[in-house]
Amino acid sequence: MTDLRGSHVAAMVQNVSLADDNRLCKQIEALSAAGCRVSVITRRDAANDPWRDLPGLTLIEYRAPVDGASTTGHLREYAASLVRQIPRLARLHLRDRIDVLQICQPPDLYFPVTAVARRLGVKVLLDQRDLMPETFAQRYASAPARAMQVLHWLESRTQASVDATVTVNDHLRSRLIAAGGAPERVRVVRNGPVLARLGRAREVAPLPKVSRARSFSSVVTWAGKMGRQDRVDDVVRVAELVVHGWGRDDVGFMLIGNGECLDELRLMVDELGLREHVWFPGWLDEVELYRHLAAADVGIDTSLQPEVTPVKAMEYLGVGLPLVAYDVQETRRLAEGASILVEPGDTEALARELVGLLDDPAKRSLLGQVGSERVRVDLAWERQQEVYLETVAGLVHDRPRRATPRSSAAARSGPSSAS
């Protein structure tokens, strides 16, 4: 394990709370286990409560802004978060000097902050999860050209203002290098599941294949944040075709998670007469999530974003769940041999392959075994975290030396929470 004793890493996350940021939660645990003091500036959320007692973690919360539902709304949300985050970051640095500042992207709006931080001797690590131009384009039938130019400019400014970047797949790495990132400074750290938590989920009694209304012989699941770019409405269309079009009354659909489209999806389910067959368990912690996934027979993904590595796919594979999905670049790289992939956007083909897989338990078992082994050997967080820790350690060792580290009494005494 990389040794980071005596160092201080601060992370800023904006569009979700710490508790909802699965990747950051795993990074914090890895940093803490390596002996690092960690501070996180995040929106206030009761779900953050379990993190308040983690040794070595300081949680600094601010009042959450109103979530944006449009381009203008997102800009207001980001601006409000920045106004609340920056003074807290400054006070934190004065109280307990930061060695590495980690920016959890999106958005690409932190470069003025990171420029100042670097002048103060703080090393800056960007954790790039999404590409904002591509995400923006997925939300519109025809994305405004001027807005796309601005987003690409912001992306290049961000790359110019950081010392290193970690991202989730090779496609994103190539794009970030094209945006100005130095190849040696951009590394891939995949967001795989934690093997220990997969194990704990298996120790809990399995869930029955049942919704609130009735039980099913077969269950299909989708899990994640329900954004417009995720096209979860395609899952509902698949359910309509399977249940009403082909009369498969024995199949249920479990859509796990939350997000901006949740209410619209519930309304869509009601309008299509699918309430008995489609249900929404809500946002679950990791162990409960894996327990729910393990109760299903097939996982489904309907994203059309070629640059996105679907975390849900790694979670499906981790519990031995075969996947049906659209055939896009990163999904294929991740799940080929453990999945059935169809022409992007062809919901009828997706539904047909889904039903075929539900009716073929031997094939499901074979695909599930391939996926489970791939996670265990390569994709699991335990395999990926060392690259992340090595990147942080490289920045810590490269920071300007200081004669006397400044550390607050709060930092010396252990975890705390501030507002």
DSSP 8-state assignment for residue 204: S
**Which pLDDT value is given to residue 410?**
44
Q: What is the number of domains present in the chain?
A: 2
Regarding whether 185 and 40 lie in a shared domain, the answer is: yes
How far is 345 from 366, CA to CA, in rounded Å?
26
Higher pLDDT, residue 179 or 125: 125
Residue 56 falls inside a structural domain: yes
Does residue 78 sit in the same domain as residue 51?
Answer: yes
Q: Judge whether 3 lies within some domain.
A: no
Mean pLDDT to the nearest integer, 103-131: 90
Rounded to an integer, what distance in angstroms lies between the CA atom of residue 261 and that of residue 259? 6
In a domain? residue 123: yes
Q: pLDDT-derived band of residue 318, with 50, 70 and 90 as boundaries?
A: very high
Q: Which amino acid is at 137?
A: A
Enter the pTM of the model.
0.81
Question: Do 341 and 392 fall within a single domain?
Answer: no
Same-domain pairing of 55 and 115: yes
Q: Give domain status of residue 154, yes or no.
A: yes
Residues 172 and 200 in one domain: no
Which residues on neighbouring strands pair with residue 258, listed in sequence order? 225
For residues 84 and 171, membership in a common domain is answered with yes
What are 344's strand-pairing partners?
Answer: none
Q: Is residue 1 part of a domain?
A: no
Listed in sequence order, the DSSP H helices in 51-193 are: 71-95, 111-119, 132-138, 145-160, 170-178
Same domain, 309 and 389: no
How many Å apart are CA 251 and CA 174, to the nearest integer?
41
Among 117-121, 149-153, 201-205, which is the least confidently predicted range? 201-205
Picking from 145, 126, 58, the residue whose alpha carbon sits closest to that of residue 93 is 58
Write out pLDDT tens, residues 197-235: 888 887 776 787 777 678 999 999 999 989 888 999 999
Nearby residues of 167 by Cβ (< 8 Å), 6 or more positions away: 127, 128, 129, 173, 176, 186, 187, 188, 189
Domain assignment of residue 37, given as a range: 8-192+380-418
- Residue 2 covered by a domain: no
E strands, 323-378, in order:
323-326, 339-342
User: d(Cα 251, Cα 264) in Å, to the nearest integer?
Assistant: 22
Kindly report the CATH number assigned to the domain that includes residue 411: 3.40.50.2000
Identify whether 354 is part of a domain: yes
Residues 335 and 257 grouped into a single domain: yes
Asked if residue 352 is part of any domain, the answer here is: yes
The chain-wide mean pLDDT, for the chain, equals 89
Domain check: are 129 and 22 in the same one?
A: yes
State whether 127 and 184 are in the same domain.
yes
**One domain, residues 273 and 408:** no
